Structures are given as C-alpha cells and as structure tokens.
C-alpha cells in the first residue's frame, strides 16, 4: 500500500507516493530523479548517500522515508546557487583536488557542509571525525581534508566581506 | 621531448580539477543511467564451493509477474569466456566456487528480479573441494577442472602458465656469497573496494548491434571480447562500448567480467536494455580481487654488501577460473630481476586452481606482493651482513642507464636520491635501532613508467578538432577512473597547441567515435596520452600557423583601414607585412598568434579564434578548418619467451620510509611519520601527482595493516565495509610526499607514469619498521594486532 508524504527538497516542496518501507535514497534517486547522492553500500557504512535532513548529515540509504514528512532535505543538487555559482565547499573540493573518481564526492561535500555550518573553523581532528562515516578509496583523505580547510577559509572570507 | 621548456605556461602547474560535474551531483555513473524499456538483472550464485549441478528448476521464477527472462546454462549457447577459456557465463556441469553464476533473471524492477532468484531451485551433488594452493598441487588433490578449454583431460590443478625467468648463474653465485638469507612470506586476498560497485547496461539496437554501457577501463579490449562473444553466440552484430563515469577501478575493471556477458545474454533474449549494479555484498563476493602469494625468497651478498643473487619461488592461488590475476607474475619479474642491482636471478611462479574466488588485476599488478617479499629479505640480508638497512640499499641501488638482468633499459633513476630523502626526513640515524617500541623502516620500488607492452600494441589514438570559435575538442580512446586526466589533458593540449586549457574540451568513452587505445592500466595513461597530445598538438599548431601566415596580413590591413574610416585622426601606420607571411616567424601561445621575434608588436597580434573564423568562413568555396590526428605507439618491447625485454620506455623509482609505534600491550601499530619519495619524471600537475601518491600510499597501508578477505572453506566471510577494513578518515597517516623530477627524456614533457607505484612499498616499509620497533617480523600480511601481539608474546617467552 503506497502512502503519500510531503517534504521539502532543495527548497521545493514535493509530494511523493511511497511504500512505507522505502528509504530516502531510493525516493530521491528513483522517484525524484535526484541521482547526485549515491548508493555505495545500502547499509549505512560508506556515506556516499549522505544528504542533510533539517541541516544534519544522515545516511539516506537507511533513513526511513516516512521519517522525512515535513522535513527539509538538502542534496548535492541543491548546494550551488540557482544561478549556477558553486558553493565554497564545492569550489574548494575542485581547487584542492578533494575529488578523484567522484563517487564519494556528493556525500563527502554534504558532510563537510554540515560540519562547517556547525563549526566554521574546524581543526584536522574535527574534520577527520566529521568525515569518519564517508569512505573514499581514491584520495587517502588528505586532499579532502585540505579541501574542507580551504572551504572554511573561503567561507570566512565571504563572511568578512559581508 | 623530455627537455623542460622554461617558458611553459600550463604544464608543471597545479591547476584545479576541471571535473565540475562531480561536485554538483551531475556526473553520471552507471548507477544513474536509466533507459526506456530498461529491465533489471540479478544473478543467482552457487550455494556450494564445488558440486555437480543435478538440476535447476526455474519454472516458478518464470511465472512470477514482471519477470522477462530466466537464463541458466541449459537454455543459452555454451560459449567459453576468459583468456584461458576456462568458464562459461552461466555454469552447467558443475560449480567450482561460491561465486559461480548459476542463473540470471531480467525483470521489470530490482525487487521482482530479487524475488525471482528466491524461486529458483538448484539441486547440487557435493564434490570434494580444495582451498589451499599447496594442497591443490598434490597429485591426489580434487581436480577443479577435469578438462581444459579444448576438452583435453587435465591431470592436475596447475595452470598452463609456467612463469620463469633466469639470468646468470644463481647456484654459483650462492656458493661464492658471504651472506645468504632464505625465508618464506605470504600475502592475503585484498579487494579493490571501489566506492562505485560493478555494473553495466546492455542493449541491442535495431540492426542487431550491441550497445554496452560499461565501467571498463579498457573499452577497446572490452569491445574485442564482446565482439568475440557475439560471434560465438552466432550473432552477426558488432559491439559499441560506452563508458560513463567510473566510481574507481584500481585494476578491477581490466577484464570483461562474467556479469557483463550475462547482461548481453539477457538483452539478447529479452530485446530490452538490461542493467545490473552490484550490491556491496555482491561486489565482495563476485568481483575478482588481488590474489595471495606464498613466496620463498633466497638472497645473497658479498662481504661488501653487494647483492650476488636472488632466487624467488612463488605460488599463486588462482581460484577456480582465470582472469588477469594469473598474469601478474609478468610484472613481478620486474622487481624480482631489477629492484636493486642483482646480477644472478632466478624466478618461478606457479598458478594453481583452487575452489576459492579468483583474481583480477589490482593497482601495482603483482608488484606489491613481489616487493613485499624482496624488501623484507633485503632487511634480513642487511642485518646478516651488519650493514645499516638504508646503506645496504644505497650500495645496491639502481643507477641511471643500466640494463638489468631482465633486459629492462633503465633511463633516469633517482633511487639513491629517494633513499637519501627518506633517511633525512625520517631522521633515520637517530630513530633506527632504538628498540623502544618505536622504529623506522624503509622499502624502495621500481615500476613501469613509460607504458607497458603487454599486448601487441601499447598505443593510443587521438584526434584534435579545432572549430571556428577557437575551441579544441580532443577525442581520445583513453578513459579516466578519477586520476584527473581531464585536467592534465587540457594542460598538455594547451601547452602543445598554443591554446588555453579553457579552450579545450574532451570527448571520450565511445568506441564508435574515439580512436583506439589499449586501455588505462600500467600507469600508462598520462605518458601515452601525453605523447599523442604532443604529436597531434604540433600538427594543430603547424596548421593554425599556416592559416595565420596566409590570413593575418589581410586581416590586419582590413582592421587598420576600418579603424581609419571610423576615426579620421587615426593614421594607418606603414607596416612591413612580409615577416607575417612566413610561418617560421609566427608563434601561437595563450590562444594568440604573434611574431616570435617581436612579441610586443601590438599590430601583429591576433586572437587565434579570429583567424580560424576568417579561414573557415571565406565565402568562396575554399574555407578551411583544422583537424589533426596521431596514433602513438611507444618504442617498448614485449617480453620474449625467456621473460626478457624492455617492457616500458622508462621506469619509475622511489622509496618509502615509515616511523611506527607499536603498543606492546595491544599489538596496535600507529604510523607516526611517513615519507614517500617518488621519481615522477616530471609532474604535469604536482597537486594531482600528490593525489596519486596519497591515495595509493593509504591503500598500501591498508594492505599492510587492516585489509583481508577472510574465507572459510571458499566462502567470503566479510563481504561488507564494516568487516573488510579499508582505512577511513579517522586513520590518520601523516604522509610527506616528495616529488623528485629527473626530467625523463622519453617522457612527454619529461613525465613518467605515477598511478600505481605508491601502493607498492608501503607494506614492506611498515613491516620493516615494526621489526625495528619490537624485533619481530610478521611474514604474513596483514599485520593485525592479533598476529603482532602473538609474535611479541612468543618472542618475550623465548627471551625468558
């Protein structure tokens, strides 16, 4: 039996018919065609499916869809501004080569964004802790950490200008 | 070609990555592609490690609503696949391992396909199985294959691949050696563990041609194998391979995997596109990893510490079938024969069938296993001869322009320099031999750096199309797996042609359009592509300057007179246009054409886009456009029957030095400092080179300390990311990457390949450091806390 639920994705309100046992990732990818978040394991271990729900990073592959009712979901597709300008975290991942194959990147960037929202000037240990649930096989994490540090600097200079 | 051009604008600089689509969620991987009428496939794997298939009942699955096809070995043609032809996509007579594909389903969605698998009943009759390669070599061992691909009866489990290499006289050298050490080492199964799992989509077009969306990193090799498969099925069509973004490869996508042939069968039977994406569990169970080896190593040296001989015998657990894993001894030969100067060498590798999972390529292709055993033996020999471990390596270090016993012709070789960097940055002399639970260790490596002729061709084709807007489209047969080729290709094209990186776009991933390439493997991509870019780029530049010489005078005259018409005060200068008419006087840089000897002359400088547009749109029927192509095949050699030959145009060297701390209460190893010195020839993009060093080093540390596919009677016991432990962000390894640039004469812009080597020396460097810290040598990877603690306890018990 499908049920109807309503929530916000990247600022747009959506109404979707879902089976209650579905997870958020399935609905994002298959019903809403937002394929940015990836399924790397389906068991909440690799973090490739990370999106923000009410600002907090979650593994959408094990997040029950019925829990999303009325909440705000932010995916990688909603991070750049509508005019196409990259978010500083996205920019930083390109500038510091935090990206290689790109499969973990959407999840990694969303975890980094959540960290920087809560802690604008994290040290290396705090970054490593925040990204502990996001696996990457290409980079060895070092340039990802440099990217997050760079993003923090970009964000702080934007704030100072404002 | 190898000379550094002092005024290079783009090469040698750390340009930011240019794959913007990956950070905005718009990069399409196999997972993200949906086609009209597309069906979803699932595969039923064996429930037994070795058994006869008595019957397969698919009747219930066929009746399930939404199921479009259920295939088994009994309802598809029997076509052998794999380079030894030792399996069929769907198994019919018997299963030989738990990953054997027994049935496959295509259905309207994944849930239905999954449900259908549960409805298939297979009846097995168990056979005795063998899981240990040493046991499998015994004469009375159960036969994994009773017949070879040609139907000839087999008498044992040995593969018909007798890997051997011999140079000099090992026996004589042993007799004259002052010190000799001999030991046995072993390594484990490890998995590539790409973040994107395996997958593909197969469909047939209206003309019966196969369109295959694949994660392969050898699109043209894959196309050949698919074409052969179609032919053997009796189909007339040809195949076209499309490669979207790949979520990592590390060698895992070098061979056409069994599920890909199954997709073809399902697409053929259903007439619909059929997609599969592996679950993580399936990825661990049914995609072939790096194989384990059991190695016996003997080495000797004279009283001055000079190596006299090396004798290595390897046994490789091949698993039940044969993929590229069985050919890794061809690369093992490189370090065995040529890591350090050793005049007398003997090497033998035996691949043995067992009822285990079978192996594929993985980053380093046999080199990590071989270097693990050689570099521990080097430490043992240094100790036996009373020489410091780094000093011993320096005494035996490879030198520039030597020819090795395998007939490798070394060109540039900063091995000693790399060892010195490690010595200095690790503060070696102070940290070594302290026996305080802290210790330092070192290991060197060499690897192919200038392609590797493992097929008859080691070539790449490239086409450069320059349009009338001044944009360059590079059409290449190469593929990217994340290393950043889209960024460095743009840098190299801009340098070679005189355009700018932002003028360059890359088209790849379609065998129907792109020129041939042997594939992205053997750290060859930047090297081979770089050469192809230099050849085609020089042609583009020549053609553009030719157009410039013919059009610039007229265009400049026209602009000047136009300006004079508009501005009565403007005096048209008297100019001598003749220098412009000779292409030799012209230069193209940063997308502008100007006089080589008079770059400041503002009259004689035009944007290249303007010239191209003028030459294209002439209005007379004589318009011209610029297209150039190149097919670069490097001057390296295939190995001869003796296993000798100059496999690569150049070789890359390096040394890793590690400082560890061992917790003697828990057996836990902490890496305190890690120096990774790498000869890269020349860094096209230093930031991306470091990315390769970081990533591969961390992979190598996982190989040393945490990663292992655990099997029990052929069954993989840890097929998930919780129990198969790749390192995470919490596992901090303080890597200090040092890029050494000897500027390789055979390399494009002086560069050597760098994709694989950093995962080669990590394990022996770490194990050597652990030995320095606590005096125990772990000879079987990985060095888990349990193993290390046991060894420490045993050592302490002995000492008491």
Q: Which CATH class is domain A88-161?
A: mainly alpha
> Hey, what are B459's tokens?
């070539």
- CB within 8 Å: A41 and B29: no
Inter-chain residue contact A46 with B23, CB threshold 8 Å: no
CATH 3.30.420.40 is the classification of domain B20-25+459-632: no
Interchain CB contacts (distance < 8 Å): A and B: 173
Q: What is the pLDDT of residues B390-441, one digit of tens each?
A: 999 999 999 999 999 999 999 999 999 999 999 999 999 999 999 899 999 9
| Overall residue count recorded for chain A in this entry | 162
Asked if residue B627 lies in contact with residue B471, where contact means CB atoms within 8 angstroms, the answer is no
Of A103, A123, A134, A147, which to mutate for an interface test with B (greatest number of B Cβ within 10 Å)? A103
Q: Please report, rounded to a whole number, the percentage of residues in chain B having pLDDT higher than 90.
A: 97
Where do you find CATH 3.90.1170.50 in chain B?
33-127+197-246+253-286
Contact assessment for residue B692 and residue B758, using Cβ atoms and an 8 Å cutoff? yes
Strand partners, B666: none
Chain A residues with beta carbon closer than 8 angstroms to that of B280: 40-43, 45-46
Assess contact for B759 and B368: CB atoms under 8 A: yes
Report CB contact under 8 Å: B24, A86: yes
The answer to whether the Cβ–Cβ distance between A41 and B687 falls below 8 Å is: no
pLDDT of residue B1: 43
Residue B64 has pLDDT above 60, yes or no: yes
Whole-angstrom distance, CA of residue A135 vs CA of residue A49? 11
Which member of A48, A77, A140 has the closest CB to residue B695?
A140
Q: Give B579's DSSP letter.
A: G
Contact B735 A48 (CB under 8 A): no
Q: How confident is the model over B512-556, as pLDDT tens digits?
A: 999 999 999 999 999 999 999 999 999 999 999 999 999 999 999
Q: Which residues contact B337 (CB under 8 A, 6 or more apart)?
A: B165, B167, B310, B345, B347, B404, B405, B406, B408
Q: What is the pLDDT of residue B149?
A: 87
Three-state SS for B86-133 is CECCCCCCEECCCCCEEEEEEECCHHHHHHHHHCCEEEEEECCCCCCH
The span from the CA of B462 to the CA of B365, in Å, is 27
B732 in reach of chain A (CB within 8 A): yes
pLDDT digits (tens, 9 = 90+) for B272-301: 999 999 999 999 999 999 999 999 999 999
Confidence of residue B2 (pLDDT cuts 50, 70, 90): very low
Quick one: average pLDDT of B131-142?
Answer: 97
Residues from chain A contacting residue B197 (CB–CB below 8 Å): 40
How far CA B182 is from CA of B273, B298, B590, in Å, comes to 56, 4, 59
Please give, rounded to a whole number of angstroms, the shortest distance from the CA of B14 to a CA of chain A: 9
Which residues are bridge partners to B316 per DSSP? B293, B351
Pairwise CA distance, residues B797 & B800, whole Å: 5
Q: Which of B28, B195, B722, B762 to mutate to test the interface with A (most CBs of A within 10 A)?
A: B195
pLDDT at B457 over 70: yes
Of the CATH numbers 3.40.50.11890, 3.30.365.10, 3.90.1150.10, 3.40.630.10, which one belongs to the domain with range B293-454+638-799? Answer: 3.30.365.10
Within 8 A by CB and 6+ apart from B683, the residues are: B12, B689, B739, B741, B751
Which chain A residue has the Cα nearest residue B734? Answer: A142
Q: How many angstroms away from the CA of B17 is the closest CA of chain A?
A: 5
Q: Does domain A3-78 have CATH number 2.60.120.10?
A: no
Given the DSSP bridges, would you call strands B504-508 and B472-476 parallel, antiparallel or unpaired? parallel
SS3 call for B306: coil
Break chain A into its structural domains and give their ranges. 3-78, 88-161
Specify the residue for token string 């069929």. Answer: B88
What is the rounded CA–CA span in Å between residue B496 and residue B533? 7
Q: Say if residue B3's pLDDT is above 80.
A: no
What residue spans in chain B does CATH classification 3.30.365.10 cover? 20-25+459-632, 293-454+638-799
pLDDT at B650: 98
The answer to whether residue B108 neighbours chain A at the CB level (below 8 Å) is no
Chain B residues in contact with A105 by the CB 8 A cut-off are 22-23
Q: Which fold has domain B33-127+197-246+253-286?
A: Aldehyde Oxidoreductase; domain 3 (3.90.1170)
pLDDT-derived band at B620, boundaries 50, 70, 90: confident
Name every chain A residue with its beta carbon within 8 A of the beta carbon of B19: 94, 99, 102
Distance, CA of A16 to CA of B717 (rounded, Å) = 39
Phi/psi at B525 (nearest 5 deg)?
Answer: -60, -50
CA distance B752 to B747: 6
Place of tokens 């390192």: B727
Neighbours of B167 (CB within 10 A): 22
Q: Identify the band that residue B619 occupies on the pLDDT scale cut at 50, 70 and 90.
A: confident
Q: Please name the residue of chain B whose CA is at the shortest distance from the CA of residue A29.
A: B32
Cβ burial of B398 (10 Å; 0-12, 13-18, 19+) is: buried
Number of helices (H), then strands (E), belonging to chain A: the values are 5, 5
> How many angstroms separate the CA atoms of B352 and B332, rounded?
17
Strand partners, A3: A18
Note the pLDDT tens digit of each residue in B659-696. 999 999 999 999 999 999 999 999 999 999 999 999 99
**Closest Cβ–Cβ partner in B26, B726, B729 for A132:** B729
Of the candidates B60, B59, B87, the one whose C-alpha atom is nearest the C-alpha of residue B73 is B87
CB B698 to CB A46 under 8 A? no
- Strand (E) or helix (H) holding B347: strand B344-353
Q: What is the pLDDT of residues B782-799, one digit of tens each?
A: 999 999 999 999 999 999
Instruction: Quote the pLDDT of residue B407.
Output: 98
The Cα B81–Cα B259 span in angstroms is 11
Mean pLDDT to the nearest integer, B484-488: 95
CB of B659 closer than 8 Å to CB of B426: yes
| Partner residue opposite A80 with nearest CB, options B24, B691, B726 | B24
């Amino acid at each position: 039996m499908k049920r109807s639920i309503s929530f916000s994705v990247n600022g747009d309100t959506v109404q979707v018919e879902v089976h209650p046992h579905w997870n958020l990732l399935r609905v994002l990818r298959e019903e809403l065609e937002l394929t940015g978040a990836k399924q790397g394991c389906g068991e909440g271990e690799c973090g490739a499916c990370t999106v923000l729900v009410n600002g907090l990073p979650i593994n959408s592959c094990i997040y029950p869809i019925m829990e999303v009712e009325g909440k705000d979901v932010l995916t990688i597709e909603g991070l750049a501004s509508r005019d196409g300008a990259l978010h500083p975290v996205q920019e930083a991942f390109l500038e510091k080569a935090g990206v290689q194959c790109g499969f973990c990147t959407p999840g990694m960037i969303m975890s980094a964004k959540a960290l920087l929202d809560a802690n604008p000037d994290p040290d290396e240990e705090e970054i490593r802790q925040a990204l502990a649930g996001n696996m990457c096989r290409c980079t060895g994490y070092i340039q990802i950490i440099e990217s997050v540090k760079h993003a923090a600097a970009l964000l702080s200079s934007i704030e100072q200008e404002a | 070609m190898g000379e550094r051009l002092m005024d290079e604008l783009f090469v040698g600089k750390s340009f930011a990555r240019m794959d913007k689509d990956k950070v905005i969620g718009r990069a399409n991987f196999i997972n993200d592609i949906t086609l009209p009428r597309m069906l979803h496939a699932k595969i039923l794997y064996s429930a037994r490690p070795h058994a006869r298939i008595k019957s397969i009942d698919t009747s219930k699955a066929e009746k399930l609503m939404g199921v479009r096809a259920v295939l088994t070995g009994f309802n598809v043609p029997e076509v052998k696949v794999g380079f030894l032809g030792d399996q069929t996509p769907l198994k019919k007579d018997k299963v030989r391992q738990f990953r054997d594909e027994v049935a496959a389903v295509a259905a309207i969605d994944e849930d239905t396909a999954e449900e259908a698998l549960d409805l298939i009943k297979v009846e097995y009759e168990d056979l005795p199985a063998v899981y240990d390669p040493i046991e499998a070599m015994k004469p009375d061992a159960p036969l994994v294959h009773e017949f070879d691909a040609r139907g000839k009866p087999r008498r044992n489990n040995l593969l018909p691949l007798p890997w051997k290499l011999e140079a000099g006289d090992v026996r004589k050298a042993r007799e004259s050696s002052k010190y000799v050490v001999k030991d046995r080492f072993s390594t484990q199964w490890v998995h590539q563990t790409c973040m994107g799992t395996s997958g593909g989509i197969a469909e047939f077009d209206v003309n019966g041609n196969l369109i295959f969306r694949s994660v392969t990193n050898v699109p043209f090799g894959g196309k050949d194998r698919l074409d052969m498969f179609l032919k053997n099925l009796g189909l007339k069509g040809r195949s076209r391979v499309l490669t979207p973004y790949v979520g990592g490869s590390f060698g895992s996508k070098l061979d056409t995997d069994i599920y890909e042939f199954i997709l073809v069968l399902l697409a053929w039977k259903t007439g619909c596109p059929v997609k599969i994406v592996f679950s993580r569990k399936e990825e661990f169970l049914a995609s072939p990893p790096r194989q384990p080896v059991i190695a016996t190593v003997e080495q000797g040296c004279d009283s001055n510490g000079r190596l006299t001989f090396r004798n290595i015998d390897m046994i490789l657990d091949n698993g039940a079938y044969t993929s590229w894993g069985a050919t890794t001894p061809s690369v093992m030969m490189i370090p065995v024969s040529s890591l350090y100067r050793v005049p007398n060498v003997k090497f033998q590798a035996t691949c043995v069938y067992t009822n285990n999972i079978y192996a594929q390529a993985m980053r380093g292709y046999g080199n990590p296993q071989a270097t693990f055993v050689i570099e521990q033996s080097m430490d043992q020999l240094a100790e036996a001869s009373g020489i410091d471990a780094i000093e011993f390596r320096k005494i035996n270090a490879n030198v520039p322009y030597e020819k090795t016993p395998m007939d490798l012709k070394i060109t540039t070789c900063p091995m000693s320099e790399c060892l010195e960097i490690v010595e200095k940055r690790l503060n070696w002399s102070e940290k070594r031999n302290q026996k305080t639970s802290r210790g330092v260790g070192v290991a060197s490596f060499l690897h192919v750096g200038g392609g590797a002729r493992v097929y008859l061709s080691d070539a790449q084709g490239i086409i450069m199309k320059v349009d009338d807007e001044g944009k360059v489209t590079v059409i290449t047969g190469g593929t990217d797996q994340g290393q950043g080729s889209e960024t460095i290709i743009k840098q190299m094209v801009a340098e070679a042609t005189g355009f700018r990186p932002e003028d360059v776009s890359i088209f790849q991933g379609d065998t129907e359009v792109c020129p041939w390439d042997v594939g992205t493997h053997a750290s060859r991509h930047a090297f081979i592509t770089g050469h192809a870019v230099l050849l085609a780029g020089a042609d583009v530049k020549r053609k553009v300057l030719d157009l410039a010489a013919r059009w610039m005078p007229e265009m400049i005259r026209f602009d000047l007179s136009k300006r004079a018409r508009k501005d009565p005060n403007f005096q048209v200068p008297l100019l001598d246009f003749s220098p412009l008419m000779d292409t030799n006087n012209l230069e193209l840089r940063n997308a502008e054409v100007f006089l080589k000897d008079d770059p400041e002359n503002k009259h004689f400088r035009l944007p290249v886009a303007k010239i191209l547009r003028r030459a294209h749109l002439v209005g007379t029927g004589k318009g011209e456009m610029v297209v150039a192509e190149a097919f670069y095949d490097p001057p390296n050699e295939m190995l001869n029957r003796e296993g000798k030959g100059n496999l690569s145009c150049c070789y890359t060297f390096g040394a890793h030095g590690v400082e560890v701390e061992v917790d003697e209460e828990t057996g836990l190893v902490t890496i305190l400092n890690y120096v990774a010195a790498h000869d890269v020839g020349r860094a096209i993009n230093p930031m991306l080179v470091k990315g390769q060093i970081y990533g591969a080093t961390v992979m190598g540390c996982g190989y040393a300390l945490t990663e292992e596919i655990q099997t029990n009677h052929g069954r993989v016991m840890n097929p998930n990311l919780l129990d198969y432990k790749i390192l995470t962000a919490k596992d901090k390894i303080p890597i200090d990457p040092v890029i050494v640039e000897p500027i390789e004469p055979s390399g494009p812009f002086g560069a050597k390949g760098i994709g694989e080597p950093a995962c080669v020396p990590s394990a022996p460097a770490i194990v050597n450091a652990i030995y320095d810290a606590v005096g125990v040598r772990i000879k079987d990877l990985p060095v888990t806390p349990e193993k290390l603690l046991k060894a420490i306890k045993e050592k302490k018990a002995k000492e008491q």
